[in-house]
Amino acid sequence: MRIIYKIGIHLYLFLVIIAATFHIKARRWIRGRSGMWKKMRDKIGTDGNVIWIHCASLGEFEQGRPLIEELRNRLPDKKLLLTFFSPSGYELRKNYEGVDCVTYMPLDTRFNAWRFMNLVKPEMAFFIKYEFWYYFLRTLNKRKVPVFLVSAKFRRDQVFFKWYGKWYRKLLRFFKILFVQNEESRRLLNVINIKNVIVAGDTRFDRVFKISRYSVDYPWIEPFSKDKFVIIAGSTWEKDEQILIEYINQSDQGTRFILAPHEISGKKLLRLIERIDHPTVRFTDIDKSSYVNAKVLIIDNIGHLSSLYKYGDIAYIGGGFTKGIHNILEAATYGLPVIFGPNYKKFLEAVELVHKKAAFPINNFEELKTATDRLISDKNLLSSCSEITLDYIKSKLGATNSILDKALESMA
């Protein structure tokens, strides 16, 4: 199996090199790695005293960020190295100032793992959620460097639990502690005799709660939303927008909408605005337009959505008609009931909020209209959902400190 893995890694590299001739993401993947060794040497030196945090991409970074911040707070004398596998994470966070060095992770080969360990000399490593690289994990284990898996969630359909998953289960044994999100993950791991498991929760709750406490104020939103019912739709895709626009076009004057599409290219936004029958204003045109009388506000840039949720009464979270819903916690931390499409069952927080009747999965326009109209017309229901959502968020706080406490304790 190791031979197959090795061949697969080199085949992957070969295919990325070919794709780099016409695909910008592949080109960034290749170019970014070309200077990574020098960057690590220049930024963190070769004298050790390093803690390594690895994330696959941007989502994992947001999950690991509370841990990074707490590491910096507790161990200010340590150098922090943050690596990414994907360009989508690295390109957006390459200037992150919370660590000493941000770079790509070298391709998982035996030579790269050996070279990395000799250069960086990490004292400990944290892999966030779903990162299982054989040669790096094996080398860390051989060098007796403790490595921790953070906020992982395991499902029965993963390769570790298949009849042919023996070799992959070996990767799990390289971790000193696997910090998982829920009891189901621990149960599954125990079945395959992985016992060094601690249910510590999800660090994302700590992250979104902190964001909400330091959110940006937008004074001009007040006249837009005053005495109105505000529905905020975040990270929407085409199918989400189809049913949302149908609902917007039928809604009365007492409701306002804030839409933050997943794709914000010019042509895409123009087509979106053309389909809306009510006065609409773009976020970047606020100074030029009369937004007080607009019914719909389009967020056409990034970085604002997490703060804007506090001005809403209901949140619609996009992605549920594609591969899976986007982040519902940013809305839930403000006590907003959440609505989303049918593809949500891989997201524990969505499943649990549906079970608590504070989140509403929908399959079509009719179900969207039914759920939204109920929340608008029934103030007691809205208040109850808001209270349930807030209590749920607060009950999940503390994963970051729990993980770091137990990780440092295990090294004593």
Residue-wise pLDDT for 88-124, tens only, equals: 889 889 999 999 999 999 999 999 999 999 999 999 9
Strands (E), 335-407: 338-340, 359-361
Q: Which residues contact residue 389 at a Cβ distance below 8 angstroms, ignoring those fewer than 6 apart?
A: 332, 335, 336, 337, 338, 353, 358, 359
pLDDT at res. 373: 96
Please name the residue ranges forming H helices in 192-304. 203-213, 221-225, 238-250, 266-274
Residue 33's pLDDT band (boundaries 50, 70, 90)?
confident
Q: Alpha-carbon distance 405 to 403, whole Å? A: 6
Tens digit of pLDDT for each residue in 43-85? 998 898 999 999 999 889 999 999 999 999 999 999 999 999 9
Q: Which residues contact residue 347 at a Cβ distance below 8 angstroms, ignoring those fewer than 6 apart?
A: 324, 325, 328
Q: How many CB atoms lie within 10 A of CB 281?
A: 20
Indicate if the alpha-carbon torsion angle 171, 175, 181, 184 is positive or negative.
positive
Find the mean pLDDT for residues 363-380.
96
Instruction: Specify the pTM.
Output: 0.86
Q: Which residues contact residue 127 at a Cβ distance below 8 angstroms, ignoring those fewer than 6 apart?
A: 54, 147, 148, 149, 150, 175
Residue ranges matching CATH 3.40.50.2000 in the chain:
217-395
* Phi, psi angles (nearest 5°) of residue 2: -65, -35
pLDDT at res. 289: 63
Residue 290's pLDDT band (boundaries 50, 70, 90)?
low
Radius of gyration of the chain (CA): 23
Highest mean pLDDT among 42-46, 113-117, 283-287, 299-303: 113-117
CATH superfamily, domain 217-395, is Glycogen Phosphorylase B; (3.40.50.2000)
Q: Which CATH architecture has domain 38-202+398-410?
A: 3-Layer(aba) Sandwich (3.40)
pLDDT at res. 39: 94
Q: Which residue has the tokens 């779903």?
A: 130
pLDDT at res. 12: 83
Residue ranges matching CATH 3.40.50.11720 in the chain:
38-202+398-410
Q: Strands of 280-282's sheet, edge to edge? A: 280-282, 296-298, 255-261, 229-236, 314-317, 338-340, 359-361
Tens digit of pLDDT for each residue in 152-188? 999 999 999 999 999 999 999 999 999 999 999 999 9
